[in-house]
């Protein structure tokens, strides 16, 4: 299993990170990620920048939250809700 999340080089014109435009959704559509068994949900419909996944491992489930570069306050509040909805599961945040 894997997760995809944008770094600063994925945002803005030519990776300038001057704004939040990205072509990631063209190459990694959320519809494809949603088919993965680990996929749990996304902050915005049809956008891959902020997602969560529950990975099955030999040690038990792990929650992985993949966040955009420099996550906005609303994204952080969403991520907090995801963590709260999965009590007791070890959690990794990728940004």
Residue-level pLDDT, tens digit, the chain, 95 residues: 788 888 888 887 877 777 778 888 899 999 999 999 999 999 999 999 999 999 999 999 999 999 999 999 999 999 999 999 999 999 999 98
Beta strands in 1-95 (DSSP E): 39-42, 51-57, 60-66, 91-94
Beta bridge partners of 52: 41, 65
Can you tell me the distance from the alpha carbon of 38 to that of 55, in angstroms, rounded to the nearest whole number?
5
> Three-class SS of residue 11?
coil
Collect all residues with Cβ–Cβ distance below 8 Å to 24 and sequence separation of at least 6.
4, 6, 10, 48, 49
């Amino acid at each position: 299993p894997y997760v995809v999340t944008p770094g600063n080089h994925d945002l803005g014109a030519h990776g300038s990170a001057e704004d939040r435009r990205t072509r990631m959704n063209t190459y990694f559509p959320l519809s494809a990620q949603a088919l993965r068994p680990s996929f749990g949900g996304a902050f915005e419909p049809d956008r891959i920048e902020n997602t969560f996944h529950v990975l099955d491992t030999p040690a038990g489930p792990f929650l992985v939250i993949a966040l955009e570069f420099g996550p906005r306050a609303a994204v952080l509040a969403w991520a907090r809700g995801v963590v709260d909805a999965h009590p007791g599961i070890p959690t990794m945040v990728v940004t």
